[in-house]
Chains A and B, each alone.
Chain A
Amino acid sequence: MPPSCVNSSTVPAETLTIIGGVDDPALAGAVVIPHAVVVAGAVVFGLIAVGLAWPVPVALARATWPTRAPVMALLLWQGIGLAGGLSMIGALALTGYAVLPAHAFAALIPAGVFTVYLLAHLAATTVQVTAQRHRHLALLELLTSPHPTRARTRVLDDAVPVAYCLPRGAQSVTVLSQGLLDRLDPDELVAVIAHERAHVEQRHDLLLLAFRAWRSALPWFPIAARAEVEVAALVEMLADDHARREVHDEVLARAILQVGAGGVPGAEKAVSGSTRVGDRFRRLAG
Protein backbone atom coordinates (compact mmCIF):
# COMPACT_ATOMS: atom_id res chain seq x y z
CA MET A 1 0.00 0.00 0.00
CA PRO A 2 1.49 3.39 -0.94
CA PRO A 3 1.79 6.10 1.72
CA SER A 4 -1.33 8.27 1.59
CA CYS A 5 -3.53 10.58 3.60
CA VAL A 6 -6.33 8.59 5.20
CA ASN A 7 -8.67 9.17 8.07
CA SER A 8 -7.44 7.53 11.25
CA SER A 9 -10.66 5.56 11.60
CA THR A 10 -9.85 3.72 8.35
CA VAL A 11 -6.21 2.94 9.14
CA PRO A 12 -5.50 -0.81 9.04
CA ALA A 13 -3.87 -2.36 12.06
CA GLU A 14 -0.52 -2.94 10.34
CA THR A 15 0.02 0.72 9.49
CA LEU A 16 1.91 3.25 11.55
CA THR A 17 1.41 6.93 12.21
CA ILE A 18 4.41 9.16 12.37
CA ILE A 19 3.19 11.30 15.21
CA GLY A 20 1.28 9.21 17.70
CA GLY A 21 -1.47 6.70 18.44
CA VAL A 22 -4.05 6.01 15.75
CA ASP A 23 -6.94 6.61 18.11
CA ASP A 24 -6.04 10.24 18.65
CA PRO A 25 -8.89 12.27 17.10
CA ALA A 26 -6.47 15.17 16.57
CA LEU A 27 -4.68 13.01 14.05
CA ALA A 28 -7.57 12.71 11.65
CA GLY A 29 -5.99 13.15 8.22
CA ALA A 30 -2.38 12.63 9.44
CA VAL A 31 0.14 10.97 7.11
CA VAL A 32 0.48 7.28 7.83
CA ILE A 33 3.17 4.99 6.46
CA PRO A 34 2.75 1.22 6.17
CA HIS A 35 5.10 -0.77 8.36
CA ALA A 36 6.53 -2.62 5.36
CA VAL A 37 7.56 0.69 3.78
CA VAL A 38 9.34 1.71 7.00
CA VAL A 39 11.23 -1.59 7.07
CA ALA A 40 12.12 -1.32 3.38
CA GLY A 41 13.28 2.28 3.94
CA ALA A 42 15.46 1.23 6.86
CA VAL A 43 17.05 -1.50 4.70
CA VAL A 44 17.64 0.87 1.76
CA PHE A 45 19.19 3.57 3.97
CA GLY A 46 21.27 0.90 5.71
CA LEU A 47 22.60 -0.39 2.39
CA ILE A 48 23.42 3.15 1.23
CA ALA A 49 25.19 3.82 4.53
CA VAL A 50 27.25 0.61 4.26
CA GLY A 51 28.06 1.33 0.61
CA LEU A 52 29.23 4.85 1.39
CA ALA A 53 31.23 3.66 4.39
CA TRP A 54 33.14 0.93 2.60
CA PRO A 55 33.13 -0.04 -1.14
CA VAL A 56 32.52 3.44 -2.60
CA PRO A 57 35.34 5.28 -0.77
CA VAL A 58 37.71 2.32 -1.23
CA ALA A 59 37.11 2.45 -4.99
CA LEU A 60 37.57 6.22 -5.05
CA ALA A 61 40.80 5.99 -3.04
CA ARG A 62 42.17 3.37 -5.49
CA ALA A 63 41.08 5.17 -8.66
CA THR A 64 43.70 6.99 -10.71
CA TRP A 65 41.42 9.65 -12.25
CA PRO A 66 41.22 11.87 -9.11
CA THR A 67 44.80 12.93 -9.82
CA ARG A 68 43.62 14.36 -13.14
CA ALA A 69 40.38 15.84 -11.77
CA PRO A 70 41.02 16.81 -8.13
CA VAL A 71 38.06 19.21 -8.00
CA MET A 72 35.61 16.48 -8.99
CA ALA A 73 37.22 14.03 -6.57
CA LEU A 74 36.97 16.51 -3.69
CA LEU A 75 33.29 17.11 -4.45
CA LEU A 76 32.74 13.35 -4.42
CA TRP A 77 34.52 12.95 -1.07
CA GLN A 78 32.34 15.69 0.41
CA GLY A 79 29.24 14.03 -1.04
CA ILE A 80 30.29 10.64 0.34
CA GLY A 81 30.94 12.11 3.79
CA LEU A 82 27.69 14.04 3.94
CA ALA A 83 25.46 11.40 2.37
CA GLY A 84 27.16 8.69 4.43
CA GLY A 85 26.36 10.53 7.66
CA LEU A 86 22.78 11.32 6.66
CA SER A 87 22.08 7.77 5.49
CA MET A 88 23.37 6.38 8.81
CA ILE A 89 21.05 8.77 10.67
CA GLY A 90 18.16 7.86 8.35
CA ALA A 91 18.78 4.13 8.75
CA LEU A 92 18.81 4.47 12.55
CA ALA A 93 15.61 6.56 12.58
CA LEU A 94 13.69 4.16 10.30
CA THR A 95 14.97 1.10 12.16
CA GLY A 96 13.74 2.73 15.35
CA TYR A 97 10.29 3.19 13.84
CA ALA A 98 10.24 -0.34 12.49
CA VAL A 99 11.07 -1.77 15.92
CA LEU A 100 8.95 0.59 18.05
CA PRO A 101 6.08 1.76 15.84
CA ALA A 102 3.97 2.95 18.76
CA HIS A 103 6.68 4.96 20.56
CA ALA A 104 7.77 7.71 18.20
CA PHE A 105 9.99 9.46 20.72
CA ALA A 106 11.81 6.35 21.93
CA ALA A 107 12.20 5.19 18.31
CA LEU A 108 14.10 8.37 17.44
CA ILE A 109 16.57 8.20 20.35
CA PRO A 110 19.35 6.20 18.57
CA ALA A 111 19.25 8.48 15.51
CA GLY A 112 19.21 11.55 17.75
CA VAL A 113 22.11 10.32 19.87
CA PHE A 114 24.18 9.56 16.76
CA THR A 115 23.42 13.00 15.27
CA VAL A 116 24.46 14.73 18.49
CA TYR A 117 27.60 12.53 18.60
CA LEU A 118 28.66 13.59 15.08
CA LEU A 119 27.93 17.28 15.72
CA ALA A 120 29.77 17.14 19.05
CA HIS A 121 32.87 15.79 17.29
CA LEU A 122 32.68 18.54 14.70
CA ALA A 123 32.37 21.15 17.46
CA ALA A 124 35.18 19.64 19.55
CA THR A 125 37.51 19.44 16.53
CA THR A 126 36.72 23.04 15.60
CA VAL A 127 37.42 24.25 19.15
CA GLN A 128 40.68 22.26 19.34
CA VAL A 129 41.99 23.43 15.96
CA THR A 130 40.97 27.03 16.67
CA ALA A 131 42.82 26.93 20.01
CA GLN A 132 45.95 25.49 18.35
CA ARG A 133 45.82 28.17 15.64
CA HIS A 134 45.34 30.85 18.30
CA ARG A 135 48.43 29.67 20.16
CA HIS A 136 50.43 29.41 16.94
CA LEU A 137 49.40 32.93 15.94
CA ALA A 138 50.51 34.25 19.34
CA LEU A 139 53.91 32.62 18.78
CA LEU A 140 54.08 34.10 15.28
CA GLU A 141 53.41 37.58 16.62
CA LEU A 142 56.37 37.29 18.98
CA LEU A 143 58.82 35.42 16.79
CA THR A 144 58.30 36.67 13.22
CA SER A 145 58.48 40.03 11.53
CA PRO A 146 56.11 41.33 8.87
CA HIS A 147 57.28 40.84 5.28
CA PRO A 148 58.56 44.21 4.02
CA THR A 149 56.33 44.26 0.94
CA ARG A 150 53.71 41.49 1.09
CA ALA A 151 50.53 41.94 3.12
CA ARG A 152 49.54 39.27 5.67
CA THR A 153 52.91 37.58 5.18
CA ARG A 154 55.47 37.11 7.94
CA VAL A 155 59.11 36.11 7.89
CA LEU A 156 60.42 33.55 10.36
CA ASP A 157 64.11 33.99 11.10
CA ASP A 158 65.09 30.34 10.72
CA ALA A 159 67.48 28.63 8.34
CA VAL A 160 65.14 25.69 7.65
CA PRO A 161 63.25 26.36 4.39
CA VAL A 162 59.54 26.29 5.25
CA ALA A 163 56.43 27.94 3.85
CA TYR A 164 52.93 27.53 5.21
CA CYS A 165 49.72 29.35 5.84
CA LEU A 166 47.76 29.60 9.05
CA PRO A 167 44.14 29.81 7.92
CA ARG A 168 41.99 32.21 9.92
CA GLY A 169 39.42 33.44 7.42
CA ALA A 170 40.16 37.02 6.44
CA GLN A 171 43.09 37.17 8.90
CA SER A 172 44.97 34.24 7.37
CA VAL A 173 48.73 34.56 7.59
CA THR A 174 51.35 33.19 5.22
CA VAL A 175 54.71 32.42 6.83
CA LEU A 176 57.99 32.18 4.92
CA SER A 177 61.24 31.30 6.64
CA GLN A 178 64.43 33.24 5.99
CA GLY A 179 65.99 29.95 4.85
CA LEU A 180 63.31 29.69 2.16
CA LEU A 181 63.76 33.28 1.01
CA ASP A 182 67.53 32.75 0.77
CA ARG A 183 67.22 29.52 -1.17
CA LEU A 184 64.48 30.19 -3.74
CA ASP A 185 64.67 32.15 -7.00
CA PRO A 186 62.05 34.88 -7.41
CA ASP A 187 59.92 32.73 -9.74
CA GLU A 188 60.09 29.76 -7.35
CA LEU A 189 58.91 32.07 -4.60
CA VAL A 190 55.98 33.13 -6.81
CA ALA A 191 55.05 29.43 -7.09
CA VAL A 192 55.16 28.92 -3.31
CA ILE A 193 53.10 32.02 -2.58
CA ALA A 194 50.51 31.20 -5.26
CA HIS A 195 50.19 27.70 -3.76
CA GLU A 196 49.62 29.03 -0.25
CA ARG A 197 47.23 31.73 -1.46
CA ALA A 198 45.10 29.03 -3.10
CA HIS A 199 44.77 27.23 0.27
CA VAL A 200 43.55 30.45 1.88
CA GLU A 201 41.26 31.65 -0.92
CA GLN A 202 39.63 28.27 -1.51
CA ARG A 203 39.12 27.69 2.24
CA HIS A 204 40.81 24.29 2.20
CA ASP A 205 41.03 24.53 5.98
CA LEU A 206 37.26 23.99 6.29
CA LEU A 207 37.44 20.80 4.20
CA LEU A 208 40.36 19.45 6.20
CA LEU A 209 38.56 20.31 9.44
CA ALA A 210 35.38 18.48 8.39
CA PHE A 211 37.27 15.32 7.40
CA ARG A 212 39.36 15.42 10.54
CA ALA A 213 36.14 15.61 12.61
CA TRP A 214 34.75 12.69 10.57
CA ARG A 215 37.82 10.59 11.38
CA SER A 216 37.77 11.48 15.08
CA ALA A 217 34.05 10.61 15.27
CA LEU A 218 34.43 7.27 13.47
CA PRO A 219 37.90 5.95 14.37
CA TRP A 220 36.77 2.36 13.85
CA PHE A 221 36.13 3.14 10.14
CA PRO A 222 39.54 2.76 8.46
CA ILE A 223 38.08 4.60 5.50
CA ALA A 224 37.58 7.79 7.54
CA ALA A 225 41.36 8.03 8.04
CA ARG A 226 41.93 7.20 4.37
CA ALA A 227 39.44 9.89 3.33
CA GLU A 228 41.33 12.48 5.38
CA VAL A 229 44.65 11.57 3.72
CA GLU A 230 43.05 11.61 0.26
CA VAL A 231 41.41 14.99 0.82
CA ALA A 232 44.66 16.46 2.17
CA ALA A 233 46.55 15.25 -0.94
CA LEU A 234 43.85 16.46 -3.37
CA VAL A 235 43.88 19.89 -1.73
CA GLU A 236 47.64 20.08 -2.37
CA MET A 237 47.02 19.27 -6.04
CA LEU A 238 44.45 22.07 -6.28
CA ALA A 239 46.91 24.51 -4.75
CA ASP A 240 49.60 23.27 -7.17
CA ASP A 241 47.23 23.84 -10.11
CA HIS A 242 46.75 27.41 -8.90
CA ALA A 243 50.52 27.87 -8.84
CA ARG A 244 50.89 26.28 -12.31
CA ARG A 245 48.76 29.07 -13.76
CA GLU A 246 51.46 31.52 -12.73
CA VAL A 247 54.66 29.52 -13.28
CA HIS A 248 55.86 26.61 -15.43
CA ASP A 249 55.69 23.08 -14.01
CA GLU A 250 59.50 22.96 -13.83
CA VAL A 251 59.59 26.03 -11.60
CA LEU A 252 57.08 24.48 -9.19
CA ALA A 253 59.02 21.19 -9.26
CA ARG A 254 62.28 23.05 -8.45
CA ALA A 255 60.58 24.84 -5.55
CA ILE A 256 59.22 21.55 -4.17
CA LEU A 257 62.68 19.96 -4.40
CA GLN A 258 64.36 22.96 -2.77
CA VAL A 259 61.94 22.92 0.16
CA GLY A 260 61.17 19.22 0.55
CA ALA A 261 64.21 17.25 -0.52
CA GLY A 262 66.74 18.99 1.69
CA GLY A 263 66.41 16.49 4.52
CA VAL A 264 64.98 18.97 7.00
CA PRO A 265 66.37 18.30 10.48
CA GLY A 266 63.64 17.48 12.97
CA ALA A 267 61.09 16.64 10.28
CA GLU A 268 59.53 13.20 10.29
CA LYS A 269 60.65 10.87 7.50
CA ALA A 270 58.59 11.04 4.33
CA VAL A 271 56.58 7.97 3.42
CA SER A 272 57.00 6.17 0.10
CA GLY A 273 55.44 7.66 -2.99
CA SER A 274 52.94 4.91 -3.75
CA THR A 275 49.99 6.91 -2.40
CA ARG A 276 48.10 9.97 -3.54
CA VAL A 277 50.85 12.04 -1.92
CA GLY A 278 53.28 10.74 -4.56
CA ASP A 279 50.70 11.39 -7.28
CA ARG A 280 51.09 15.08 -6.55
CA PHE A 281 54.65 14.90 -7.91
CA ARG A 282 54.01 12.40 -10.71
CA ARG A 283 51.27 14.58 -12.23
CA LEU A 284 53.78 17.43 -12.63
CA ALA A 285 56.10 15.10 -14.53
CA GLY A 286 53.31 13.44 -16.51
Chain B
Amino acid sequence: MGTLGELERAVMDAVWDAPEPVTAYDIRDHLQSEGRTLAVTTLLTVLSRLEKKGFVTPDRSARPHRYTAVASRADHVAELMHDVLGTSSDRTAVLERFVGSVSDEDAAVLRQLLDRAG
Protein backbone atom coordinates (compact mmCIF):
# COMPACT_ATOMS: atom_id res chain seq x y z
CA MET B 1 0.00 0.00 0.00
CA GLY B 2 1.96 2.99 -1.25
CA THR B 3 1.15 6.59 -1.89
CA LEU B 4 -1.49 5.66 -4.48
CA GLY B 5 -3.55 4.03 -1.73
CA GLU B 6 -3.24 7.17 0.40
CA LEU B 7 -4.33 9.28 -2.57
CA GLU B 8 -7.39 7.09 -3.08
CA ARG B 9 -8.24 7.50 0.59
CA ALA B 10 -7.99 11.31 0.38
CA VAL B 11 -10.17 11.42 -2.75
CA MET B 12 -12.74 9.04 -1.25
CA ASP B 13 -12.88 11.13 1.93
CA ALA B 14 -13.60 14.17 -0.24
CA VAL B 15 -16.43 12.33 -2.04
CA TRP B 16 -17.89 11.17 1.29
CA ASP B 17 -17.60 14.62 2.87
CA ALA B 18 -19.41 16.36 -0.01
CA PRO B 19 -23.17 16.73 0.43
CA GLU B 20 -23.83 16.10 -3.30
CA PRO B 21 -22.11 14.51 -6.33
CA VAL B 22 -18.72 16.10 -7.00
CA THR B 23 -16.50 16.73 -10.02
CA ALA B 24 -12.73 16.25 -10.11
CA TYR B 25 -12.48 20.07 -9.92
CA ASP B 26 -14.50 20.12 -6.69
CA ILE B 27 -12.16 17.50 -5.23
CA ARG B 28 -9.11 19.49 -6.33
CA ASP B 29 -10.47 22.58 -4.55
CA HIS B 30 -11.37 20.55 -1.45
CA LEU B 31 -7.88 19.03 -1.22
CA GLN B 32 -6.33 22.44 -1.95
CA SER B 33 -8.11 23.80 1.11
CA GLU B 34 -6.45 21.01 3.12
CA GLY B 35 -3.06 22.02 1.76
CA ARG B 36 -2.67 19.28 -0.87
CA THR B 37 -2.14 20.41 -4.45
CA LEU B 38 -3.07 17.79 -7.05
CA ALA B 39 -3.64 18.01 -10.80
CA VAL B 40 -7.14 17.31 -12.09
CA THR B 41 -5.73 14.62 -14.45
CA THR B 42 -4.27 12.79 -11.43
CA LEU B 43 -7.61 12.99 -9.65
CA LEU B 44 -9.43 11.63 -12.72
CA THR B 45 -7.03 8.66 -12.77
CA VAL B 46 -7.69 8.01 -9.08
CA LEU B 47 -11.47 8.35 -9.62
CA SER B 48 -11.40 5.84 -12.46
CA ARG B 49 -9.51 3.40 -10.20
CA LEU B 50 -12.10 3.91 -7.47
CA GLU B 51 -14.84 3.34 -10.05
CA LYS B 52 -13.23 0.04 -11.14
CA LYS B 53 -13.09 -1.05 -7.50
CA GLY B 54 -16.78 -0.26 -7.14
CA PHE B 55 -16.48 2.60 -4.65
CA VAL B 56 -17.73 5.52 -6.78
CA THR B 57 -20.13 5.80 -9.67
CA PRO B 58 -19.97 8.62 -12.23
CA ASP B 59 -22.87 10.55 -13.75
CA ARG B 60 -21.69 10.66 -17.37
CA SER B 61 -24.57 12.86 -18.53
CA ALA B 62 -22.99 15.81 -16.77
CA ARG B 63 -19.89 17.65 -18.09
CA PRO B 64 -17.59 17.39 -16.28
CA HIS B 65 -18.61 14.00 -14.82
CA ARG B 66 -19.98 14.09 -11.31
CA TYR B 67 -19.06 11.29 -8.94
CA THR B 68 -21.11 9.76 -6.11
CA ALA B 69 -20.04 7.25 -3.46
CA VAL B 70 -21.64 3.82 -4.03
CA ALA B 71 -22.05 3.34 -0.27
CA SER B 72 -21.44 5.46 2.79
CA ARG B 73 -18.26 5.22 4.81
CA ALA B 74 -20.26 3.61 7.63
CA ASP B 75 -21.53 0.90 5.24
CA HIS B 76 -18.00 0.07 4.16
CA VAL B 77 -16.79 -0.04 7.77
CA ALA B 78 -19.65 -2.44 8.48
CA GLU B 79 -18.59 -4.61 5.54
CA LEU B 80 -15.00 -4.63 6.80
CA MET B 81 -16.02 -5.49 10.36
CA HIS B 82 -18.27 -8.26 9.05
CA ASP B 83 -15.17 -9.87 7.49
CA VAL B 84 -13.28 -9.45 10.74
CA LEU B 85 -15.82 -10.44 13.38
CA GLY B 86 -17.51 -13.37 11.67
CA THR B 87 -16.46 -16.76 13.00
CA SER B 88 -17.66 -18.72 9.97
CA SER B 89 -14.86 -20.91 8.70
CA ASP B 90 -15.23 -19.34 5.26
CA ARG B 91 -13.43 -16.34 6.69
CA THR B 92 -10.69 -18.07 8.66
CA ALA B 93 -8.72 -18.54 5.47
CA VAL B 94 -9.13 -14.89 4.46
CA LEU B 95 -7.65 -13.24 7.52
CA GLU B 96 -6.12 -14.43 10.79
CA ARG B 97 -7.41 -12.81 13.96
CA PHE B 98 -5.48 -12.57 17.20
CA VAL B 99 -8.45 -14.01 19.06
CA GLY B 100 -12.17 -14.32 18.49
CA SER B 101 -14.64 -13.97 21.32
CA VAL B 102 -13.53 -16.04 24.30
CA SER B 103 -16.14 -18.23 26.00
CA ASP B 104 -16.87 -17.67 29.71
CA GLU B 105 -15.26 -21.01 30.54
CA ASP B 106 -12.03 -20.14 28.70
CA ALA B 107 -11.99 -16.68 30.25
CA ALA B 108 -12.16 -18.33 33.70
CA VAL B 109 -9.14 -20.49 32.82
CA LEU B 110 -7.14 -17.40 31.84
CA ARG B 111 -8.20 -15.47 34.97
CA GLN B 112 -7.01 -18.37 37.13
CA LEU B 113 -3.59 -18.09 35.48
CA LEU B 114 -3.50 -14.36 36.20
CA ASP B 115 -4.59 -14.89 39.84
CA ARG B 116 -1.80 -17.41 40.35
CA ALA B 117 0.73 -15.05 38.78
CA GLY B 118 -0.44 -12.41 41.25
Residues of B near A171 (CB, < 8 A) are 1
Contacting residue for A142 out of B55, B98, B114, CB 8 A = B55
CA of A255 to CA of B114, assembled, Å: 11
**Are A212 and B103 in touch, CB under 8 angstroms?**
no
Given A142-B9, A264-B85, residue A250 in contact with residue B100 (CB < 8 A): no
Given A139-B79, A278-B103, A281-B106, residue A132 in contact with residue B94 (CB < 8 A): yes
CA of A53 to CA of B71, assembled, Å: 46
Residues of A near B105 (CB, < 8 A) are 272-273, 278
Residues of A near B53 (CB, < 8 A) are 138
CA of A113 to CA of B99, assembled, Å: 40
Contacting residue for B85 out of A145, A254, A266, CB 8 A = A266
**Are A257 and B107 in touch, CB under 8 angstroms?**
yes
Of A10-18, A83-91, A102-110, A156-164, the one touching chain B: A156-164
**Are B94 and A282 in touch, CB under 8 angstroms?**
no
Asked if B62 lies at the interface with its beta carbon under 8 angstroms from chain A, I say: no
Residues of A near B39 (CB, < 8 A) are none
**Are A278 and B106 in touch, CB under 8 angstroms?**
yes
**Are A273 and B76 in touch, CB under 8 angstroms?**
no
Given A136-B80, A143-B76, A192-B98, residue A129 in contact with residue B93 (CB < 8 A): yes
Asked if B86 lies at the interface with its beta carbon under 8 angstroms from chain A, I say: yes
Of residues 80 through 107 on chain B, the ones whose CB sits less than 8 Å from some CB of chain A are 80-89, 91-103, 105-107
CA of A137 to CA of B8, assembled, Å: 13
**Are B102 and A260 in touch, CB under 8 angstroms?**
yes
Given A143-B73, A166-B95, residue A267 in contact with residue B8 (CB < 8 A): no
Asked if B19 lies at the interface with its beta carbon under 8 angstroms from chain A, I say: no
As a 0/1 sequence over residues 263 to 286 of chain A, the CB contacts with chain B under 8 angstroms (1 = contact) are 110111111110001100110110
* Chain B proximity of A255: nearest CB distance (Å): 8
Asked if A259 lies at the interface with its beta carbon under 8 angstroms from chain B, I say: yes
Given A141-B9, A196-B98, residue A253 in contact with residue B103 (CB < 8 A): no
Asked if A167 lies at the interface with its beta carbon under 8 angstroms from chain B, I say: yes
CA of A37 to CA of B8, assembled, Å: 65
Residues of B near A273 (CB, < 8 A) are 103, 105-106, 109
* Chain B proximity of A178: nearest CB distance (Å): 12
Residues of A near B47 (CB, < 8 A) are none
* Chain A proximity of B81: nearest CB distance (Å): 7
Not counting A163-B98, A253-B113, A268-B87, a sample of 6 additional A-B residue pairs whose C-beta atoms are within 8 angstroms of each other reads A141-B5, A145-B9, A166-B94, A205-B93, A208-B92, A225-B89
Give 7 nearest A-B pairs by CB, closest first. Answer: A260-B102, A285-B113, A163-B98, A270-B103, A141-B5, A260-B99, A273-B106
